[in-house]
Structure 1
Amino acid sequence: MAVRACGLVVFRLLANCVPPLDNIEYLLLQTSYGEHHWTPPKGHVDPGEDDLTTALRETQEEAGLLAEDLRLVDGFVQQLRYEVRGRPKEVLYWLAELKDPDAALTLSDEHQDYRWARLEEACTLAKYKDMQDTLRAAHRYLEAQRDKR
């Protein structure tokens, strides 16, 4: 059976950017273990916990962001499947906007750094293709939502 984890692709909108679509930055956390890879906040589902609750809890534990600091974006969920040390893993990501772009973050011991990055830098930091694809899908989704306004 696959290990299951859930997380949030957290983004913030910056004011007065030109062009306007360039005002989206994504939150990535750098692990303090292993290869020190960069990833959005995520973690394992606790027994009896639903997936979205896990994503919100892990974001609070890893980045210090509370549910009330965030606005979930309706209609976006991305599922990743890959292997970690020969075992299958499944990760679900929701998309969430940080309401206050200047809100302070508090990292857990699991992470040594964080960065707000525009899409291409975020993809470079993320390194893994499935994570890059998730960030690009989130960006396309946000652009499509903006075009509907």
Structure 2
Amino acid sequence: GESEIQTLIREVREETGIDELDIHSYIGKINYSYFRGDGMKSEKEVTFFFATTPTREVKISEEHADFRWVTLGDALSMLDHAKLKLILTKGHRKGLY
């Protein structure tokens, strides 16, 4: 299987078209449950890294309708999920962004 870093690189490429990625550090993981469209409960684990890219051009995949670059404050105000806010805040406290 893929390592977490290999998965990060592949997912970023598939979802944004960005190939040039500088991975700086691991931030953390969150686990959560959700109900799929068919009503079945599913478990998910998401791993977060701090990474940068000199690329400003993004080519989003078909699974996304839009994107935008945002500040940390804007990102925090856009998120509803407390665990995601915690991950962003944790990375910011570490001085990553």
**Band the TM-score falls in, shorter-chain normalisation:** 0.7 to 0.9
For 1:1-149, list aligned pairs within 5 A: 48-66=1-19, 69-74=20-25, 76-85=26-35, 86-98=41-53, 100=54, 103-142=56-95
CA offset digits 1:86-140 (Å, max 9, x no partner): 2221111111012x2x620000001111121111210122221111111111111
Q: Is the 8 A contact 2:27 2:87 kept in 1?
A: no
Q: How many residues align?
A: 92
d(CA) in 2 for partners of 1:83, 1:73: 28
**What runs of 5+ residues in structure 2 fail to find an aligned partner?**
36-40
Matching residue of 2:38: none
TM-score normalised to the size of structure 1? 0.56
TM-score normalised to the size of structure 2? 0.83
CA offset digits 1:8-51 (Å, max 9, x no partner): xxxxxxxxxxxxxxxxxxxxxxxxxxxxxxxxxxxxxxxx2222
Offset, 1:71: 1.3
Offset, 1:73: 0.9
d(CA) in 1 for partners of 2:95, 2:61: 28
d(CA) in 2 for partners of 1:126, 1:106: 22
CA offset digits 1:53-108 (Å, max 9, x no partner): 11110000001111xx221113x33100110212221111111012x2x6200000
Offset, 1:142: 2.2
CA RMSD across the alignment: 1.7
> Which sits farther off after the overlay, 116-125 or 57-66?
116-125
Report which of the two has the higher share of strand: 1
